[in-house]
Amino acid sequence: MKHSFVCGNPALDFAATVRSRLGTPLEMFSSPESLDAWFRESGIIDGDTQFQPADLEQAIVIREAIYSLVHTKIAGDDYDGDALSIVNDAARTPPAVPQLTPDGRVTEATPIEALSTVARHAIEVLSGPDVPLLKECANHECTRVYIDRSRGARREWCAMDPCGNKMKAAAYRARKREEKLVPAAGK
């Protein structure tokens, strides 16, 4: 599996497909095939959507609109009108629809249907009961937003691997450096 799904909602995971937005951004959608793989790995579809370069461009526009809306919601600010229009327009088209076959359930979709499904997930998370649970990862290099369903809502990182482990290791190194300085200062 090339992509990670730790945010608790497909739209949040979709928005997180640019890693380290504050540092050196890493684009996970480098080709139509990588976008197709994301949709399969997310479980939104089972087959190939046959994304084309124009579909990839549209997916990135929708992703950035979702990212903007999520961060605006967390900040308590007013939504950007353009981002709202992009997500709402995408959600207006038919979504991916599961079908029952003799072999079980299959969800195939056109690129537009797959993107509509993600836009609908964004609308659900941004207007539903999980809004108070939205948090940004405490790793300053990570810009993922996740749904914190932990006991007491005390989760700090999008995931232990890599963010939690990285932050805990940095805190440990800082404590060890401090311990070295304290005895030297007491002499």
Digit-coded pLDDT (tens) for 146-177 = 999 988 877 776 665 666 555 555 555 566 66
Q: Which CATH number belongs to the domain containing residue 136 in this structure?
A: 1.10.3300.10
Spatial CA neighbour of 65 closest among 83, 77, 81 = 83
Residue 163 lies in a domain: yes
CA angle at 73 for the pair 164 and 3, rounded to the nearest 5°: 45
Tally of structural domains, the chain: 1
Task: Give the pLDDT of residue 183.
Answer: 64
Spans in the chain with pLDDT lower than 50: none
Predicted confidence at residue 25, as pLDDT, reads 83
Instruction: Decide if 46 is inside a domain.
Output: yes
Asked whether residue 78 is assigned to any structural domain, the reply reads yes
Residue 3 lies in a domain: no
Q: Which domain holds residue 138?
A: 10-186
| Euclidean distance between CA atoms 4 and 28, whole angstroms | 10
pLDDT at position 71: 94
